[in-house]
Amino acid sequence: MLILYIEIIYVYYFDLQFMAILQLQMVVAKIMNRFVRLVSFLVFLFSGILLPGQDWNLSTVCKPDFNHTTGSAVTIAPLNNDLSLKSLPLSLKAISYVSHGKAILNGGNILFTPTPGFSGLGHIVYTACDPSGNCGIGDVSILIIDPGRTVYADTITRGILRNQPFLFYLPDPDFKLFAAPKFGQITKINEYEYQYVPTGAVGSQELLTFDKGNQKSVFLLSLIDRPLQNKILVDDVVFLNKNTSRLFSVTLNDLSTGGVPTVTSYTQPPSGNLSLNADNTFTYTSTLDFEGIAPFTYTACNSLGCETADAYLYVSDFLPREDINPLFRVAEGRSLVIPYDIPVQDYEFKILNQPSYGTLDFYKGSANINLQCESYSSYNPLVYTPFPGFIGTDQFIVNFCLTTGTKQCAPIKIKVETYAEVGCIPSKEYVWPGDANADGLVDLKDVNTISEFLGTAGPSRPSNSTNWANQASLDWNRQLILNAKHADANGDGLVSDEDIQIVLDNINQTHKLIPQGVYQLISTNSSVTPVAEIIAPGDDAVLQLAFGNARDLMYDIDGISFDLAFNDQMIDPEDIEISIIDNSWFGYDNAVLDGRIDGDDKINISFSSAQRKPRSGYGKTVRVQAKGGPIVSHAEGFKIPKELPLEFTISNIKINQSNGTVRLLPDNKATVVIDFSKKPVAHVGIRQYPNPASQWITLEAMEAGDHIEKLTLMDITGRIVLDKNLYPSKQVKQSLLQFNPGIYLMQVKTNHGVTTEKLEIHR
């Protein structure tokens, strides 16, 4: 007997031109007392569909703005090019993000004051509204020019969609294009702002070089296209307990206009055994004790043709995390439903210790529970009811037990606080400060949600508290996957970069039972390279993290996170600076929010593109700088070795794509050696351009009195391909025609020190 239970959930995402409806189909089949659960995702685009009260970036359209300054304060009028489709006057409501300076509202203008000494691009994110409350979110790019800077050596590596304009900026109106573009067209918008529109074939690389004497600005642009979308097959996700088998179908979520697709071929996942059954279903048996994601591809055909899709077998024991202690809160005299939201059903709870000041019940299977303020539907929930009049803290212990596979059990201690409350407030009306994505746990993923809602405004919370507790909050009139009110961590009525601090204050707090996660390791080019492998005591240790290459592009990325482990006996976390490189593919002309958690010997950090605007490209992305001063002080008064290695480990590297995919990259390590026989030297400033290069590279010593004396090139095998003593010069131009395309380490020696950089040669 086959019984199907089908549940359809709709999630709405709004954009300027369209609304996407993400349809999540959950199919649970009971065949001979065995459960098959299939979760699949379908995305459809519709135009002109609105939720009631939803009007963000639709009636009010904020167009990008550009301005420039030579270091002094500048007045910006962003409303001049903004548009009200209802022909209503617009006013500035708020500023939610500023980089490389300070900004204040000044009537209908923004007064921006750049950070002294900075040159490059600053950003402002602002909110504009009409009198009816229809709002839009805009951004301003500000080119900050340092008049004293006589040499520019900027190289930007970016991936851009074919036929999609790419805006870029030059620091001087007298910059000239070295050679006409081969695969697109350039339009000059104003003295500093340009637009490139690619028209060449996907895979082409455009090298744009602008110069003015010793000043260079280089853009290496890779022309990319969005992956083709299937018309019939839809990717699948199948969940199962480890050490079990699962029967499932990959065609239930596919479009059957041309008939139900028939599977014609498939690949074996890297772990476990997969077999195709006669009825077009699959059976998967997991490897003993394997836990992780086992992907495979399959090809299926119907009368419309054949297509190939991906399927992901998510194998886990779904045990609750042991490193966090959830806090549950419920009003006096009300019942609390405690669900465990996991995508399998072969589990149960066993009550080990009853609460002291209430009752606890376990409802096996699907349950519809009528509470005092709402009705609640859940699977296998626990329900706690405090005794009448009790206000305080209660606790109890339950066992979470798998009913198939390992049949493992794990005890969970649950704490519940009861409090006095006037009125009856449903649970959906509450927010927890810092849990911006409302998944029950405060972690750095919440920075991504704050970034997505950046600039959104709504009613402030009555309590305006950031303490870890459920707090009543009115719904805002902006709804993506969840209501925007959850991203307003500090409760002031505006989602801004200030909300990130509340995430950091409440990090690892939770108000739900959270399962342990598993991830699929993606083989992607990434590297951690020291700028100098050997340093003197007192010198800074500098690393650069690079992702991808010309053949393995980072595509549509809106978030980057990782853990940095270091020697805490030599370095304090506050002496380590981690930042996105401004001129990298992810940092260039991008407003980036960051959240950071310092531990004794590890730093967790997350970077997110404002409003989740994706970027594509490859190469150097993140700079890590450990200050050298503390390294000297820790060694004073002790007998020290001649050399001391400083090891840095980059782990848990996650790259977030705009479609929701998270790529977990392999760990990387780098070592910087402190040579105590060397004397600390002044930092060597070398400008290099272009880099990447094709035929030549120019090097220029930036510090007063510095002269370049020697140039050494090593290929990736460590072989020295150039070792050249030079007549001491301020500037050196080196031909690269004799070297093969690839990656090299370039070591430049001056009369004051040595610096090492990565050189990329392209042709």
Domains of the chain, first to last: 2-48+228-316 (2.60.40.10), 60-144 (2.60.40.10), 157-175+207-224 (no CATH), 327-419 (2.60.40), 425-456+465-476+483-511 (1.10.1330.10), 519-680 (2.60.40.680), 683-763 (2.60.40.1930)
Q: Per-residue pLDDT tens for 170-216?
A: 988 999 999 999 999 999 999 999 999 999 988 899 999 998 877 78
Rounded CA gap, 499 and 494, in Å? 9
- pLDDT per residue over 482-502, tens digit each? 999 999 999 999 999 999 999
Strands 205-212 and 215-224: antiparallel
Average confidence score pLDDT of the chain: 85
113-117, 144-148, 272-276: lowest mean pLDDT where? 144-148
Q: What's the CA gap between 372 and 706, in Å, rounded?
A: 77
Q: How confident is the model at residue 524 (pLDDT cuts 50, 70, 90)?
A: low
Cis peptide before 690 (omega within 30 of 0): yes
Instruction: Report pLDDT for 241.
Output: 92
pLDDT at position 640: 53
> 136 — alpha (psi -120 to 50), left (phi > 0) or beta?
beta
Which of the two residues, 692 and 46, has the higher pLDDT score?
Answer: 692
Cis peptide before 692 (omega within 30 of 0): yes
Q: What beta strand segments (E) does 566-618 contain?
A: 576-580, 592-598, 602-609, 615-617
pLDDT in tens, 712-745: 888 766 678 898 888 888 889 999 988 988 888 8
Q: How confident is the model at residue 288 (pLDDT cuts 50, 70, 90)?
A: very high
Q: What is the DSSP string of 473-520?
A: -PPPS-BSSSBGGGG-TT-SSB--TTHHHHHHHTTT-BSS--BPP--P
What was the pLDDT predicted at 424? Answer: 87
Per-residue model confidence (pLDDT) at position 521: 58
Predicted local confidence at residue 152, as pLDDT: 60
Least confident of 270-274, 443-447, 642-646: 642-646
**Reduced to 3 states, what is the DSSP secondary structure of residue 376?**
strand
Give me the sheet containing 109-114, strands edge to edge: 74-76, 109-114, 101-106
Query: Taking the CB of residue 50, how many other CB atoms lie within 10 A of it?
Result: 11
What band does 33 get if pLDDT is binned at 50, 70 and 90?
very low
Q: Determine the Cα–Cα distance for residues 752 and 730; give it in Å rounded to an integer.
A: 13
> How many H helices and E strands in the chain?
3, 56
Tokens of residue 705, six digits: 């009195």
Q: Give the pLDDT confidence of 337-369 residue by residue, as tens digits.
A: 999 999 999 999 999 999 999 999 999 999 999
Q: Give the residue, 142 or 737, on which the prediction is more confident.
A: 142
When mean pLDDT is compared across 64-73, 261-270, 514-523, 628-637, the lowest value belongs to 628-637
Q: How far apart are CA 150 and CA 439, in angstroms?
A: 51
184 with 197: CB under 8 angstroms?
Answer: yes
Query: Average of pLDDT values for 102-118?
Result: 94
Tokens representing 319 are 């045990």
In this prediction the pTM is 0.78
Is residue 38 pLDDT above 60, yes or no? no
Residue 472 in tokens: 């009543």
d(CA 323, CA 564): 20
Report d(CA 62, CA 13) in Å as an integer: 18
CA–CA distance, 45 with 64 (Å, rounded to integer): 25
Higher pLDDT, 358 or 162: 358
